[in-house]
Chains A and B, each alone.
Chain A
Amino acid sequence: MTEIVLETRALSRHFGALMAVDDVSIGFEKGEVHAVIGPNGAGKTTLINLLSGELLPSSGSIHFKGQDITRLPANAISHLGIGRSYQKTNIFPRFTVFENCWLGAQSRLPSSFRFFRPASRYDAVRARTERALELCGLSQRAHATAAAMSYGEQRQLEIGMMLATEPELLLLDEPLAGMGAEEAHKVVELIQRLAKDHTIILIEHDMDAVFAVAQRLTVMVNGRVLESGTVEKVRTSKAVQEAYLGEDEAEGEAA
């Protein structure tokens, strides 16, 4: 029944002597929420950057629906239907919320080499933009300047821009980072809604959120996969308990 939609094979990326991602082979199943967890510096964001085409791997390969996408640039990967959000808010600060999402929506035109008709008359793009705003909960804030919004709203926008590109697979890099409890709750709900018709790869430190949405877990430590499988399997894994979950409190204090 299950179908692997995205797969890494012996994927590695080093920065000098540092193995940020080391021999990672994971299959991500269609329609599932697969959380990647691990302490800071475990290589989670590097993994996302490899999957989204923003970094080239040192070795290994990435396959999406059977196609080798290892060396495709980020813009080509976006067009395959893989969208990403950033851990560090990455928006167009001087544009309005609407204009931010618009750029996501407009990228689904076959080409933006359209020079004369005003952009505002592209109704399909407008509709996509409004759908994304609605999904991320910012419809009421459409005309606010992005830089002037609260941090939590900017995080919502971060997700909204990605949704405007109508991806089928979402790479969410710590969508809850730095959010208050109430905002975080809203985003968890959003992820649950998106999970119904998207495949999601989620990096998150908030374990409550992870257990609320994820069916599968991968634990990374020092660039390597320590354990990967269903939530139950990982929860009861001795190696994980020793290396990561057991040290949770110590981690929290160190961070």
Chain B
Amino acid sequence: MPALSRPVIALLLLAIAGAALFPLTAETYYLKLMTKIMVLGLFAMSLDFLVGFAGLVSMGHAAFFGVAGYGLAWFANKAGIGALEVSLPAALAITALVALAIGWLSIRTTGVYFIMITLALAQMLFYFFKDQRYWGGTDGMNVFKKPKLAFGDWVLLDLSNRYVLYYTCLALLVLAFLLLLTLLRSPFGRVVVGIKENEGRMRALGYDVARYKLAAFVIAGTLAGLAGYLEVVRSAFINPSHLSWHESGTVLVMVLLGGMGTLWGPVVGALALVMLEDSISSLWDHWLLLMGGFVIAVVLFLPDGIAGLIRSLGRRAPKSEAADD
């Protein structure tokens, strides 16, 4: 169970407050960069639910990110529908169905077989979108029409406004975090965490393990879909690389970097990775080498990721809670 000690809660509240005030001072460039970080943070958080809590290491998580993105692209470009209240639930429902299908096929395998089958199924979707003209092929599609939530003339949310988009992403990131925390404290969450700890014993205690794993898979996939939807709103662009195995690998790196099994750590992982990319990619052509070195260093020296470091600092602080996990 994700034990949130008091210093960590204080830190998270501070981070949310900081993020809420950030647009007041930031230039447009950094506002957009921060929006990107929050979207990828949500994506990474959804994967952490799977990897860090359910114990399911998926190498195909980008499939859901991309499917929801193509879903939005279809509504905006093919159907000409800009209503958020239509495109968002529909994109999420399609993503959930795809997650149900992929999960149903892969959930009975474990370990490296699970990694391989999720990878293979996601690559099938990658080629599905890549090989079809209708979906824009390798080039993908521009998605200029931004979703809007409006009742008659009263516009509640217009995501073409970069500030509205920023705060929508922030709100959804916080809501997703609270949702997953709530789930983890519910009977369902106890089962999911128990399965990761000792699957065989859970079965002997009477749990139909596969059904709970499948449910966790669909929940994580649907949240990844939410991130994918926001990603296409943000970047106004979708192409097959959104569901490629590179993307699945990158988000897994964010989870490991940030610290799996914490939910908030992977958001920090997304922040670190994007900031690093932003700062060094313009300095040196071979910046990916530095990035790789950084990731290796974190994995070697901080086995619990950046979140583990933050937590241990919090524990050493004078007023820290002894009862953290």
Residues of A with Cβ closer than 8 Å to B? 52, 54, 73-75, 78-79, 84, 90-95, 99, 102-104, 106-109, 112-120, 122, 125, 161, 165
Contact = CB atoms under 8 A, between A and B. Distances in A.
B182 A116 contact: yes
A74 B187 contact: no
Contacts of B204: 52, 54, 74-75, 78, 84, 90
Contact of A73 (B182, B183, B201, B203): B203
A47 B190 CA distance: 31
Interface in B191-250: 191, 194, 197-198, 200-209, 211-212, 215
Contacts of B187: 106, 109, 112, 114, 117, 119, 122, 125
A109 B206 CA distance: 10
Contacts of B211: 113
Nearest to A95: B197
B191 A75 contact: no
Interface string B255-285: 0000000000000000000000000000000
B203 A75 contact: yes
A91 B206 CA distance: 14
B201 A112 contact: no
Nearest to A105: B205
B303 to A, nearest CB: 15
B205 A90 contact: no
Given A75-B208, A78-B205, A115 B200 contact: no
B305 interface: no
Among B185, B194, B211, B215, find the residue whose CB has the most chain A CB atoms closer than 10 A.
B194
B197 A112 contact: no
Contacts of A79: 206
A115 B190 contact: no
B205 A104 contact: yes
A6 B197 CA distance: 31
A113 B190 contact: no
23 contacts: A52-B204, A74-B203, A75-B205, A75-B207, A75-B208, A78-B204, A78-B206, A90-B200, A90-B204, A103-B202, A103-B205, A107-B205, A109-B187, A112-B191, A115-B188, A116-B182, A116-B183, A117-B186, A118-B182, A118-B186, A119-B185, A119-B187, A125-B187
Contacts of B191: 103, 106, 112
A75 B186 contact: no
B186 A119 contact: yes
B189 interface: yes
Contacts of B207: 75, 107, 112
A117 B204 CA distance: 25
Q: How large is the interface on B (under 10, 10 to 19, 20 to 34, 35 or more residues)?
A: 20 to 34
The binding surface of chain B is classed by DSSP as: helix
Most buried by B among A84, A112, A125: A112
A64 to B, nearest CB: 15
A67 to B, nearest CB: 17
A114 B198 contact: no
B194 A103 contact: yes
A86 to B, nearest CB: 8
A240 to B, nearest CB: 32
Contact of A114 (B188, B206, B208): B188
A92 B204 CA distance: 13
Nearest to B188: A115
B310 to A, nearest CB: 21
A116 B187 CA distance: 8
Contacts of A75: 203-209
B197 A93 contact: yes
A125 B211 CA distance: 21
Contact of A113 (B194, B209, B215): B215
Contacts of B194: 92, 95, 103
A84 B201 CA distance: 10
B1 to A, nearest CB: 8
Contacts of B198: 90-93
Given A54-B203, A84-B204, A103-B191, 5 more contacts: A106-B190, A106-B191, A109-B187, A118-B186, A120-B185
Interface in B33-79: none
Contacts of A52: 204
Contacts of B190: 99, 102-103, 106, 112, 119
Contacts of B188: 112-115
Contacts of B205: 75, 78, 103-104, 107, 161, 165
Max chain A Cβ within 10 angstroms of own Cβ: one of B185, B189, B205: B205
A104 B201 CA distance: 10
Contacts of A106: 187, 190-191
Nearest to A167: B206
Contacts of A103: 190-191, 194, 202, 205
A90 B212 CA distance: 21
Nearest to A161: B205
